[in-house]
Structure 1
C-alpha cells in the first residue's frame, strides 16, 4: 500500500463522480466527528461537481429531534448521539429521494434547533451528498448506512478536532453578542477565557469526544473513502489506495 497522498476537493470530487451511475440518483454519505469540517467539505465538493452533476447537499442535523422533544426526554446533553436523531425519517427520506421529490428539514446552528423556515424540497438530483452524524450502526440499526451508495469518513486527530471545536464555539459566542436570539447568547455572561474553558472541558470533553469515541468512529471502518485532515486543513486520501491521479 502506498502512503496516504494529498488530495484536493476537485480530485476528491472526481473520485466521487466516478461512483455515480448516469441516469440514477446516487446517495453518498459524508461523516466524521463534530467540528471535523464536514459542512465545509460538502460545500467544496458540491462546487467542484457542479459543472458535471446536479448536486444537493443534505445535513443530517435537520433530522435531529426538536429541542422541545429532547428536553422532554432528558436528551439535550446528548444531542448528536444516535438516540437524538429520527433515524427512521432519515433513511426513508434518502430512499425516497431516489424516485421522487422529497422535503428536507433544516437546522440552524445559531438557534441550535431544527428550523422549519430552512426546510426545502429536492427533486431527483444526480447526487445527494448527505453530511453529518447518524451513519454509524447503533442498537443494531444500520438502516441509514444501507441507504447509501458510498460512505466518506473525514478523520482527524482528537487534538485537532478539539481545537477546531473550541474555535467554532467561540465564533458563535462572538456572533451572539449581536444576536440575542442565538442559542449562544446565554453564554455571553461568561468572559472569553471562561467561555473557551467551558467549550473545551464541558461541551467537547464531556459530550462530543465521548460521542466520537463511542459512536461516530464506528462508521470509519465502513467507509469506502477514508480521508485524513491535518491542522492546516489539508486532506490526505487514506482509502482507497490510488497509485496516481490521471
Structure 2
C-alpha cells in the first residue's frame, strides 16, 4: 500500500470509528480482506493513529499502568499447528478457513465486547510458521480493539456470528491481479523458487482470496 493511500485510508477508518463508537461501550473494529490486500498494514497504522490521540488508565499484571487507547488483535494467531494440519491433510491449504481455530477465535472476539479482565491472545510468527500463545495483552481499560483477518466478514458459520460483536467494519480490496502479484512476490521473498511460488499462489492463496471477495458481507467502509 502506497504511503499516500495508507495515510488516506487510515484517516478514513479513524473517522469511521469516531462516527460509530458508542460512549461507555468498547469499540471493536473489523478490518478484513484477502491475503496480501494490505489489511494488516492498514490495521497496524490505524492502531498507531488511534493511540496518538491519547491513553487511558488501565491495569497491568499486578500493577497500574497507562493502557493504550487501541489494541490490535490479528486473526493469524489462531492458525492451527502444522502437525494438526498435516494429520488432517490440510497443510497444503494453510490459510484457508478450515485451517484456523475458527470457533476459538470467534468466541474470543465476542468475549472482548464486555470483558472486564486482562486478556491474553496468541500471535503468529511468519518466519517460524507457528502461533505463539499469550503474546498479545489487552487491558480491560483499552476502549478500542482493531481486529484484522481474512474471514471476519464471511457469511458462513462460525464467522457470521462476529457481526454482533463489531461496532464498525472495513473491507480492503485492491483487486485480484494486484493480489496475485503481491502473493507471488511474498513467496519468492520466503525462498520459494518461481515455479513453487506461482503454484502456491494459484492453488491456495488465490482460492482463499476469491472466497473472501465473493462470500464476505458488505462492510461499513470499502477501500481499494
Relative to the length of structure 1, the TM-score reads 0.74
Which consecutive unaligned segments of at least 5 residues does structure 1 have?
A: 1-5, 174-186, 188-194, 229-246
Please give the per-residue CA displacement for 1:1-55, whole angstroms capped at 9, x wherever unaligned.
Answer: xxxxx73422432222322223321111111110111111111111221133611
1:159 to 165, 177, 184: 177
**Which residue matches 1:227?**
223
- Contact 1:49–1:55 at 8 Å: present in 2 too? yes
> Can you list the C-alpha shifts for 1:90-140, whole angstroms capped at 9, x where unaligned?
122112223232221111111122123x62221131111111123213357
Partner in structure 1 of residue 207 of structure 2 = 210
Summarize deviations over 1:152-179 as a string: whole Å, max 9, x none. Answer: 1100111101111122223333xxxxxx
Written as runs of structure 1 = structure 2, the 5 A alignment for 1:69-148 is 69-98=84-113, 99-100=115-116, 101-116=118-133, 119-124=135-140, 125-135=142-152, 136-139=154-157, 142-148=160-166
Q: Out of 164-173 and 153-162, give the one that drifted further.
A: 164-173
Equivalent pair of 1:90/1:144 in contact (CA under 8 Å): no
SS in structure 2 of the partner of residue 29 of structure 1: strand
SS at match of 1:106: strand
Note the 1:51-70 alignment, pairs <5 A.
51-52=52-53, 54-70=69-85
Q: CA RMSD in A?
A: 2.0
TM-score (norm 2): 0.81
For 1:27 and 1:204, the matched residues in 2 are separated by: 31
Distance in 2 between the 1:216 and 1:72 partners? 29
**4+ residue stretches of structure 1 with deviation over 3 A?**
none
Higher strand share: 2
Paired position in structure 2 for 1:184? none
Count of aligned positions: 200
Equivalent-residue separation in structure 2 for 1:212 and 1:148 (angstroms) = 22
